[in-house]
Structure 1
Amino acid sequence: MRRKARDRAAAEKAYDQAASHCLPHALVSKPADDGITTWAGLPFALLFLEWEARYPEEWTRHAKDWGWKQWLIRELATADHDDQVKAKLIDLVDLVVQRPYRCKDREYVRVARAMDGAELRGRLHRAHQSGNSWAERHAGYVLWLLDRPEAPNTRHVWRTWLAGTRTC
Protein backbone atom coordinates (compact mmCIF):
# COMPACT_ATOMS: atom_id res chain seq x y z
CA MET A 1 0.00 0.00 0.00
CA ARG A 2 2.84 2.42 0.75
CA ARG A 3 4.27 1.91 -2.70
CA LYS A 4 0.95 2.92 -4.28
CA ALA A 5 0.89 6.08 -2.17
CA ARG A 6 4.47 6.93 -3.18
CA ASP A 7 3.71 6.27 -6.84
CA ARG A 8 0.59 8.42 -6.65
CA ALA A 9 2.50 11.23 -4.93
CA ALA A 10 5.24 11.05 -7.57
CA ALA A 11 2.64 11.13 -10.36
CA GLU A 12 0.88 14.13 -8.79
CA LYS A 13 4.19 15.96 -8.44
CA ALA A 14 5.05 15.27 -12.10
CA TYR A 15 1.58 16.43 -13.16
CA ASP A 16 1.86 19.63 -11.13
CA GLN A 17 5.30 20.32 -12.59
CA ALA A 18 4.03 19.89 -16.15
CA ALA A 19 0.84 21.86 -15.48
CA SER A 20 2.85 24.75 -14.08
CA HIS A 21 3.95 25.45 -17.66
CA CYS A 22 0.42 25.50 -19.14
CA LEU A 23 -2.61 27.77 -18.89
CA PRO A 24 -4.41 28.34 -16.65
CA HIS A 25 -2.37 26.56 -13.98
CA ALA A 26 0.76 28.52 -14.83
CA LEU A 27 -0.88 31.78 -13.81
CA VAL A 28 -2.00 30.57 -10.43
CA SER A 29 0.78 28.21 -9.43
CA LYS A 30 3.56 30.62 -8.47
CA PRO A 31 5.08 29.33 -5.24
CA ALA A 32 5.60 32.09 -2.68
CA ASP A 33 9.34 31.45 -2.40
CA ASP A 34 10.08 31.48 -6.15
CA GLY A 35 11.23 34.68 -7.74
CA ILE A 36 9.16 36.14 -10.55
CA THR A 37 12.10 35.85 -12.97
CA THR A 38 12.19 32.05 -12.70
CA TRP A 39 8.43 31.54 -12.60
CA ALA A 40 7.19 29.27 -15.39
CA GLY A 41 4.08 31.46 -15.71
CA LEU A 42 6.04 34.63 -16.51
CA PRO A 43 5.45 34.45 -20.30
CA PHE A 44 1.74 33.91 -19.68
CA ALA A 45 1.59 36.79 -17.21
CA LEU A 46 3.15 39.12 -19.78
CA LEU A 47 0.73 37.86 -22.42
CA PHE A 48 -2.21 38.38 -20.03
CA LEU A 49 -1.19 42.01 -19.46
CA GLU A 50 -0.52 42.59 -23.15
CA TRP A 51 -3.96 41.20 -23.99
CA GLU A 52 -5.54 43.66 -21.56
CA ALA A 53 -3.48 46.55 -22.95
CA ARG A 54 -4.07 45.85 -26.65
CA TYR A 55 -7.61 44.44 -26.58
CA PRO A 56 -9.30 45.88 -23.50
CA GLU A 57 -12.89 45.15 -24.55
CA GLU A 58 -12.12 41.51 -25.39
CA TRP A 59 -10.10 41.09 -22.18
CA THR A 60 -12.96 42.56 -20.17
CA ARG A 61 -15.45 40.10 -21.72
CA HIS A 62 -13.29 37.01 -21.30
CA ALA A 63 -10.67 37.49 -18.60
CA LYS A 64 -11.48 40.57 -16.51
CA ASP A 65 -9.75 40.37 -13.15
CA TRP A 66 -8.54 43.73 -11.87
CA GLY A 67 -7.00 42.24 -8.74
CA TRP A 68 -4.97 39.77 -10.78
CA LYS A 69 -3.85 42.58 -13.11
CA GLN A 70 -2.75 44.66 -10.13
CA TRP A 71 -0.92 41.75 -8.51
CA LEU A 72 0.95 40.87 -11.71
CA ILE A 73 2.03 44.45 -12.33
CA ARG A 74 3.29 44.80 -8.76
CA GLU A 75 5.18 41.52 -8.96
CA LEU A 76 6.74 42.40 -12.30
CA ALA A 77 7.82 45.83 -11.07
CA THR A 78 9.86 44.48 -8.18
CA ALA A 79 12.12 42.01 -9.94
CA ASP A 80 15.30 42.05 -12.00
CA HIS A 81 14.48 40.84 -15.50
CA ASP A 82 16.41 39.77 -18.55
CA ASP A 83 16.50 42.12 -21.54
CA GLN A 84 13.60 40.39 -23.31
CA VAL A 85 11.25 40.79 -20.34
CA LYS A 86 12.41 44.38 -19.78
CA ALA A 87 11.60 45.17 -23.42
CA LYS A 88 8.12 43.67 -23.02
CA LEU A 89 7.50 45.69 -19.85
CA ILE A 90 8.61 48.90 -21.57
CA ASP A 91 6.23 48.04 -24.43
CA LEU A 92 3.41 47.62 -21.92
CA VAL A 93 4.07 50.99 -20.28
CA ASP A 94 4.14 52.59 -23.74
CA LEU A 95 0.82 50.96 -24.71
CA VAL A 96 -0.88 51.93 -21.47
CA VAL A 97 0.10 55.62 -21.51
CA GLN A 98 -1.33 55.99 -25.01
CA ARG A 99 -4.86 54.85 -24.18
CA PRO A 100 -7.60 56.11 -21.90
CA TYR A 101 -7.16 55.08 -18.29
CA ARG A 102 -8.41 51.66 -17.25
CA CYS A 103 -8.73 50.23 -13.79
CA LYS A 104 -5.35 49.63 -12.12
CA ASP A 105 -3.36 51.31 -14.93
CA ARG A 106 -1.82 53.56 -12.30
CA GLU A 107 0.13 50.49 -11.16
CA TYR A 108 2.24 50.73 -14.33
CA VAL A 109 4.11 53.64 -12.74
CA ARG A 110 5.77 50.95 -10.58
CA VAL A 111 6.94 49.22 -13.76
CA ALA A 112 8.10 52.54 -15.24
CA ARG A 113 10.13 53.26 -12.11
CA ALA A 114 11.66 49.78 -12.19
CA MET A 115 12.46 49.99 -15.93
CA ASP A 116 13.54 53.66 -15.93
CA GLY A 117 16.13 54.35 -18.58
CA ALA A 118 16.77 55.96 -21.95
CA GLU A 119 14.49 53.61 -23.93
CA LEU A 120 11.48 54.13 -21.69
CA ARG A 121 12.01 57.88 -21.31
CA GLY A 122 12.38 58.26 -25.08
CA ARG A 123 9.06 56.54 -25.64
CA LEU A 124 7.40 58.58 -22.93
CA HIS A 125 8.73 61.82 -24.44
CA ARG A 126 7.39 60.78 -27.86
CA ALA A 127 3.98 60.00 -26.34
CA HIS A 128 4.08 63.31 -24.47
CA GLN A 129 4.53 65.14 -27.80
CA SER A 130 2.22 62.89 -29.86
CA GLY A 131 -0.84 65.10 -30.22
CA ASN A 132 -2.92 62.45 -28.42
CA SER A 133 -4.28 64.38 -25.45
CA TRP A 134 -4.47 61.38 -23.16
CA ALA A 135 -0.96 60.20 -24.07
CA GLU A 136 0.41 63.70 -23.56
CA ARG A 137 -1.06 63.94 -20.06
CA HIS A 138 -0.36 60.39 -18.97
CA ALA A 139 3.20 60.24 -20.33
CA GLY A 140 3.94 63.68 -18.89
CA TYR A 141 2.75 62.54 -15.48
CA VAL A 142 4.84 59.35 -15.60
CA LEU A 143 7.92 61.35 -16.64
CA TRP A 144 7.26 63.79 -13.81
CA LEU A 145 7.07 60.88 -11.34
CA LEU A 146 10.24 59.30 -12.73
CA ASP A 147 12.05 62.54 -11.93
CA ARG A 148 10.59 62.43 -8.40
CA PRO A 149 11.06 58.88 -7.08
CA GLU A 150 10.01 60.00 -3.60
CA ALA A 151 6.61 61.22 -4.85
CA PRO A 152 3.74 58.81 -4.23
CA ASN A 153 1.59 57.76 -7.14
CA THR A 154 -1.84 58.54 -5.74
CA ARG A 155 -5.05 60.00 -7.13
CA HIS A 156 -4.38 63.13 -5.11
CA VAL A 157 -0.93 63.56 -6.69
CA TRP A 158 -2.41 62.92 -10.16
CA ARG A 159 -5.14 65.54 -9.63
CA THR A 160 -2.70 68.04 -8.16
CA TRP A 161 -0.35 67.50 -11.09
CA LEU A 162 -3.21 67.96 -13.57
CA ALA A 163 -4.27 71.19 -11.87
CA GLY A 164 -0.75 72.62 -11.83
CA THR A 165 2.03 73.02 -14.33
CA ARG A 166 2.38 69.85 -16.38
CA THR A 167 5.90 70.13 -17.61
CA CYS A 168 8.34 67.27 -17.76
Structure 2
Amino acid sequence: MLMDLTELVAAAVRRPYRCKDCLYAGLVVHIPDALLRRTLAPLVDVIDPVARLRVRFLVDLSDDPEQRVTRTSWRRWLATGRSTGLY
Protein backbone atom coordinates (compact mmCIF):
# COMPACT_ATOMS: atom_id res chain seq x y z
CA MET A 1 0.00 0.00 0.00
CA LEU A 2 2.73 2.49 0.95
CA MET A 3 4.72 1.59 -2.13
CA ASP A 4 1.68 2.30 -4.31
CA LEU A 5 1.25 5.67 -2.62
CA THR A 6 4.93 6.46 -3.09
CA GLU A 7 4.81 5.52 -6.78
CA LEU A 8 1.73 7.69 -7.24
CA VAL A 9 3.60 10.70 -5.82
CA ALA A 10 6.68 9.91 -7.94
CA ALA A 11 4.53 9.68 -11.09
CA ALA A 12 3.05 13.10 -10.36
CA VAL A 13 6.58 14.52 -10.06
CA ARG A 14 7.78 12.97 -13.34
CA ARG A 15 4.93 13.97 -15.63
CA PRO A 16 4.02 17.45 -16.87
CA TYR A 17 1.94 19.35 -14.34
CA ARG A 18 -1.79 18.68 -14.38
CA CYS A 19 -4.54 20.45 -12.53
CA LYS A 20 -4.57 19.53 -8.84
CA ASP A 21 -1.14 17.81 -8.90
CA CYS A 22 -0.22 20.06 -6.00
CA LEU A 23 -2.55 18.00 -3.83
CA TYR A 24 -0.15 15.04 -4.03
CA ALA A 25 2.19 16.98 -1.76
CA GLY A 26 -0.24 16.38 1.09
CA LEU A 27 0.36 12.63 0.80
CA VAL A 28 4.05 12.98 1.64
CA VAL A 29 3.40 13.01 5.39
CA HIS A 30 1.92 9.49 5.11
CA ILE A 31 5.04 8.00 3.48
CA PRO A 32 8.02 6.94 5.61
CA ASP A 33 10.91 9.32 4.98
CA ALA A 34 13.38 6.60 3.91
CA LEU A 35 10.94 5.14 1.37
CA LEU A 36 10.11 8.56 -0.04
CA ARG A 37 13.76 9.54 -0.42
CA ARG A 38 14.69 6.18 -1.97
CA THR A 39 11.91 6.60 -4.54
CA LEU A 40 12.58 10.26 -5.32
CA ALA A 41 16.42 10.15 -5.29
CA PRO A 42 16.73 9.01 -8.94
CA LEU A 43 14.45 11.86 -9.99
CA VAL A 44 16.90 14.50 -8.75
CA ASP A 45 19.02 13.74 -11.81
CA VAL A 46 16.24 14.10 -14.38
CA ILE A 47 16.77 16.67 -17.09
CA ASP A 48 13.53 18.55 -16.43
CA PRO A 49 14.39 21.34 -13.97
CA VAL A 50 10.76 21.64 -12.82
CA ALA A 51 10.70 17.94 -11.86
CA ARG A 52 13.90 18.48 -9.85
CA LEU A 53 12.24 21.36 -8.02
CA ARG A 54 9.19 19.23 -7.28
CA VAL A 55 11.43 16.55 -5.76
CA ARG A 56 13.15 19.09 -3.54
CA PHE A 57 9.80 20.52 -2.49
CA LEU A 58 8.48 17.09 -1.48
CA VAL A 59 11.65 16.25 0.42
CA ASP A 60 11.38 19.54 2.31
CA LEU A 61 7.77 18.71 3.14
CA SER A 62 8.82 15.32 4.48
CA ASP A 63 11.41 17.06 6.67
CA ASP A 64 8.68 19.22 8.20
CA PRO A 65 5.53 17.08 8.48
CA GLU A 66 3.77 19.75 10.55
CA GLN A 67 3.89 22.15 7.60
CA ARG A 68 0.42 22.70 6.20
CA VAL A 69 0.15 22.06 2.46
CA THR A 70 -2.08 24.50 0.61
CA ARG A 71 -2.43 25.68 -2.98
CA THR A 72 0.12 28.41 -2.27
CA SER A 73 2.69 26.16 -0.56
CA TRP A 74 4.67 25.64 -3.79
CA ARG A 75 4.96 29.34 -4.57
CA ARG A 76 5.79 30.16 -0.98
CA TRP A 77 8.49 27.45 -0.97
CA LEU A 78 10.02 28.80 -4.20
CA ALA A 79 10.11 32.30 -2.70
CA THR A 80 12.08 31.09 0.35
CA GLY A 81 15.04 30.13 -1.82
CA ARG A 82 15.22 26.61 -0.35
CA SER A 83 14.84 25.24 -3.86
CA THR A 84 18.57 25.63 -4.49
CA GLY A 85 19.71 22.65 -2.36
CA LEU A 86 19.59 19.06 -3.57
CA TYR A 87 18.44 17.52 -0.31
Structure 2 length normalisation: TM-score?
0.79
2:78 match:
162
2-structure distance, mates of 1:116, 1:106: 19
Instruction: Name stretches of at least 5 consecutive residues in structure 1 with no aligned partner.
Output: 1-84
Higher relative contact order at CA 8 Å, sep ≥6: structure 1 or structure 2? Answer: 2
Q: Which amino acid aligns with 2:73?
A: V
The alignment status of 1:131 with 2:47, answered yes or no, reads yes
1-structure distance, mates of 2:65, 2:55: 15
Question: Is the contact made by 1:125 and 1:140 (CA closer than 8 Å) also made in structure 2?
Answer: no
Q: Which amino acid aligns with 1:152?
A: R
Of the three residues 53, 60, 63, the one matched with 1:144 is 60
Q: How does 1:4-153 map to 2 (within 5 A)?
A: 85-153=1-69
- Residue by residue over 1:76-128, the C-alpha shift from the partner in whole angstroms, topping out at 9 and shown as x without a partner, is xxxxxxxxx22211111111111122122122122221012322212222212
- Residue by residue over 1:58-83, the C-alpha shift from the partner in whole angstroms, topping out at 9 and shown as x without a partner, is xxxxxxxxxxxxxxxxxxxxxxxxxx
1-structure distance, mates of 2:43, 2:9: 11
Q: Rg: which structure is higher?
A: 1
How much does 1:156 deviate? Answer: 2.7
Q: How many residues align?
A: 84
How much does 1:150 deviate? Answer: 1.7
1:19 match:
none
2-structure distance, mates of 1:110, 1:116: 13
CA change 1:111–1:157 in 2 (3 A) is: closer
Query: Could you say what the CA RMSD is over the residues aligned between the two structures, in angstroms?
Result: 1.7
Instruction: Name stretches of at least 5 consecutive residues in structure 2 with no aligned partner.
Output: none
Calculate percent identity across the aligned residue pairs: 35
